A and B are shown apart, each in its own frame.
Chain A
């Protein structure tokens, strides 16, 4: 066997030679993966919904004590960040890589802002004596049945969401690197697009966490 054949035989089988086939496969792959992420959070939303049905007064009490202003600012932060990254994908498709890079960077920064506000919230809660598992001094005075469950769900669900924010920021940073080094350009814009879609999911989940934990 010739060495050329050997080399070809050893190369990974790239099923797509870029172009629309690759873009569609990447997009479909990310959407299918997002379906699984939706179900991941759905398990927790189910637990929340059932618990709230069992302890409506306690959950009301919990929401009343949540840091509504901070939580609401965070919602706006994510909404703006989603807008930025959606714009980034569109301008990248038109070849304006520099603007796209700036927009993606802006999204990542806003993600960092979100996390900073979230951490502030957690620290304030710990200071008040609210910890997961019904631990902390707060629960000595506030012993409504179901309140501990509310706050444990709060930490669990917003914590899991925060982990996903970190993942999203990482993915977008990788995309940013790709844009800066020229690996992601107009014809390969789908590479940014799939990471942007992931970021939108992170935003989507928060859109439902916000009313459940802060508003009603």
Chain B
């Protein structure tokens, strides 16, 4: 039995031009001055501010990606010098990893939703929250400034010895990343304390929406892993700017030690990037199958499992770096473990969907894409974690394809799912479902055509970060580049209809999806302090067996 009609097309119900957003005291309408936005301590506004900044960074990183793919249309120079190419793939990586992916879902959707999902008025430290935004902006500014200086050309991994001697604007860029790291630590501390101390009396650890679990686990990783990155980046800056000679063999140093410290952060970092996306998937699956998760506890505990085991596997990035065989064996073994937790989640989601009352909407379409692409990417991850195989695939396009399957096919897809799931909550408007589905199809198709050929390229021997290549690889490169245009088009169309819906979308009502998650028990967009009166929490966050208060019931004909 379905209940509410959902997401009617814009054409059917045009919104009045002076919408309720301005008249009613929602968090948007309460004060519309610029100043009120710039000094806000409202977690929802801070989430929106982050979202805008993140979207800009995604666009910038994406622009570099498109340029890189254009360059690879021909085997030799197409439109840029090798020098520029090096700087462009470095900036693409740095911007995408630290200025977009790491903060993406937690700082935008985590900020907006976490307090509401636990029935709280705000996070534990609202002013720290605002500070985390400005710290992010400061760090991002330094990174962008470095672009206008001589940029950086070391690759996003900054390996010495080259990072110690490169004459580019490395210290500036790394200080920017260091500062952005502080922002993520601040957010992590805030979310951990909020989850522990601000849950509504009636919401225990096992009653929270699963998205909270995923953001909580992510915050633990952020707090514990980021400082190690911060430290090692400072060491690289000291080497580059002051010639301190850490990791310099001539002065008794060891470059492999850099890699240990770098990857100790950067492997858990990939779990920072995927865990929140997994939380989104849990929410979308239950909402659009109208079914409780097959095992709530399995998903909750596997989030912690990923966070924990993710710290034990970093050496699999260093199989060919000169590490000892003992360590290579240890890391190879440990790396196999982490896939178990991801598998637990995938099986859970699939089983939840089975025999659910599925309603095909854009968020669910993105989640289907996620499931396919994440499994693909995850399995190739297990493959490259196998030492003997990695000897052939390391530093080839195979690895590039693997991590893009997870980061774009996984995280970006989940980010898009999140946008479409919570757009009505944040704005009170509905987007066009038809355009949503079309863009999702374009994004999925474009993504697959871009990155699947890269597995073949890498397996055939095409190294990563190479400016030119043997002509026999050109066909696959061309296919990949065309795919990138389709992917880009899908994202542009998405931006278009979302902006349109922002101003002219139909009114969403409080809960257009009929979701049971707690953030929907308050108007859309929400009031400034989230709940005008204590929310009705009688129905659990995943209880679709009974209707919500005031929910009209429209029984469908038996299928």
A residues near B (Cβ < 8 Å) are 1, 5-6, 9-10, 12-13, 15-16, 21, 24-25, 28-29, 32-33, 35-37, 39-44, 46-47, 50-51, 54-55, 58, 132-135, 145-150, 152, 156
The verdict on A55 contacting B252 (CB below 8 Å), with A25-B193, A32-B192 known, is yes
The segment out of B6-14, B123-131, B279-287, B292-300 that lies at the interface is: B123-131
State the 6 A-B residue pairs at the shortest beta-carbon distance, nearest first.
A13-B122, A43-B231, A40-B227, A146-B252, A149-B252, A39-B227
The verdict on A134 contacting B245 (CB below 8 Å), with A13-B121, A15-B122, A15-B198 known, is yes
| Of A10, A29, A41, A42, the contact of B193 (CB 8 Å cutoff) | A29
Interface residues in B, total, Cβ within 8 A? 50
Assess the A28–B231 pair: CB atoms within 8 A. Answer: no
Chain A residues closer than 8 Å to B121, beta-carbon distance = 13, 15
Chain B residues closer than 8 Å to A132, beta-carbon distance = 238, 242, 244
Assess the A133–B193 pair: CB atoms within 8 A. Answer: no
Assess the B196–A9 pair: CB atoms within 8 A. Answer: no
The verdict on A9 contacting B528 (CB below 8 Å), with A25-B197, A28-B193, A28-B197 known, is yes
Chain B residues closer than 8 Å to A134, beta-carbon distance = 245, 251
| Of A5, A35, A40, A58, the contact of B228 (CB 8 Å cutoff) | A40
| Of B188, B197, B231, B251, the contact of A44 (CB 8 Å cutoff) | B231
Task: Show 16 residue pairs from A and B whose CB-CB distance is below 8 angstroms, ordered by the A residue.
Answer: A9-B527, A13-B42, A32-B188, A32-B192, A35-B223, A39-B224, A39-B227, A40-B230, A42-B227, A42-B228, A50-B257, A133-B244, A133-B251, A146-B252, A147-B252, A152-B245
Chain A residues closer than 8 Å to B41, beta-carbon distance = 12-13
Closest to B43 in A: A13
Chain A residues closer than 8 Å to B30, beta-carbon distance = 6, 9-10
Q: Mark B186-206, 1 if CB is under 8 A from A, else 0.
A: 001110110011100000000
What's the minimum C-beta distance from A168 to chain B, rounded to whole angstroms? 17
What's the minimum C-beta distance from A62 to chain B, rounded to whole angstroms? 11
Other 20 A-B pairs with CB < 8 A, given A28-B196, A132-B244: A12-B122, A13-B122, A13-B126, A15-B126, A24-B197, A29-B189, A29-B190, A32-B189, A32-B192, A33-B189, A36-B224, A39-B225, A40-B227, A42-B227, A47-B246, A51-B254, A51-B257, A54-B252, A145-B252, A152-B245
Would you call B59 an interface residue if the criterion is a C-beta within 8 Å of the partner chain's C-beta atoms? no
Assess the B254–A54 pair: CB atoms within 8 A. Answer: yes
Closest to A29 in B: B193
Central interface residue in B192, B244, B260, B529, by most chain A CB within 10 Å? B244
Assess the B224–A35 pair: CB atoms within 8 A. Answer: yes
Chain B residues closer than 8 Å to A24, beta-carbon distance = 197
Q: Mark B221-261, 1 if CB is under 8 A from A, else 0.
A: 00111111011100100100011111000011110010011
Chain A residues closer than 8 Å to B125, beta-carbon distance = 25, 29
- Chain A interface mostly helix, strand, loop or mixed? helix
Assess the A1–B25 pair: CB atoms within 8 A. Answer: yes
Closest to A38 in B: B227
Chain A residues closer than 8 Å to B232, beta-carbon distance = 43
Would you call B289 an interface residue if the criterion is a C-beta within 8 Å of the partner chain's C-beta atoms? no
Kindly count the residue-residue contacts between A and B in the assembled complex, taking CB atoms under 8 Å apart.
133
| Of B223, B235, B251, the contact of A32 (CB 8 Å cutoff) | B223
Closest to A5 in B: B25
Task: Tell me the bound Cα distance from A39 to B264 in angstroms.
Answer: 11
Assess the B124–A25 pair: CB atoms within 8 A. Answer: yes
Chain A residues closer than 8 Å to B120, beta-carbon distance = 15
Assess the A12–B197 pair: CB atoms within 8 A. Answer: no
Assess the A36–B227 pair: CB atoms within 8 A. Answer: yes
Chain A residues closer than 8 Å to B57, beta-carbon distance = none
Would you call B31 an interface residue if the criterion is a C-beta within 8 Å of the partner chain's C-beta atoms? yes
Chain B residues closer than 8 Å to A133, beta-carbon distance = 242-245, 251
Chain A residues closer than 8 Å to B190, beta-carbon distance = 29
Assess the A148–B127 pair: CB atoms within 8 A. Answer: no
Task: Tell me the bound Cα distance from A148 to B36 in angstroms.
Answer: 53
Chain A residues closer than 8 Å to B261, beta-carbon distance = 43, 46-47
Task: Tell me the bound Cα distance from A13 to B42 in angstroms.
Answer: 7
Assess the A58–B252 pair: CB atoms within 8 A. Answer: yes
Task: Tell me the bound Cα distance from A42 to B36 in angstroms.
Answer: 41
| Of B185, B192, B257, the contact of A47 (CB 8 Å cutoff) | B257
| Of B123, B189, B245, B527, the contact of A148 (CB 8 Å cutoff) | B245
| Of A16, A43, A46, A156, the contact of B227 (CB 8 Å cutoff) | A43
Chain B residues closer than 8 Å to A156, beta-carbon distance = 235, 238, 244, 246
Q: Mark B43-64, 1 if CB is under 8 A from A, else 0.
A: 0000000000000000000000
Q: Mark B104-132, 1 if CB is under 8 A from A, else 0.
A: 00000000000000001111111100000
Closest to A40 in B: B227
Chain A residues closer than 8 Å to B230, beta-carbon distance = 40
Task: Tell me the bound Cα distance from A15 to B260 in angstroms.
Answer: 41
Central interface residue in A1, A41, A152, by most chain B CB within 10 Å? A152
Chain B residues closer than 8 Å to A40, beta-carbon distance = 227-228, 230-231
Task: Tell me the bound Cα distance from A58 to B245 in angstroms.
Answer: 16
What's the minimum C-beta distance from B121 to chain A, rounded to whole angstroms? 4
What's the minimum C-beta distance from B39 to chain A, rounded to whole angstroms? 10
Closest to B258 in A: A47
Closest to B527 in A: A9
Closest to B196 in A: A28
| Of A21, A37, A58, the contact of B197 (CB 8 Å cutoff) | A21
Chain A residues closer than 8 Å to B257, beta-carbon distance = 46-47, 50-51
What's the minimum C-beta distance from B441 to chain A, rounded to whole angstroms? 41
Task: Tell me the bound Cα distance from A21 to B264 in angstroms.
Answer: 35
Chain B residues closer than 8 Å to A28, beta-carbon distance = 192-193, 196-197
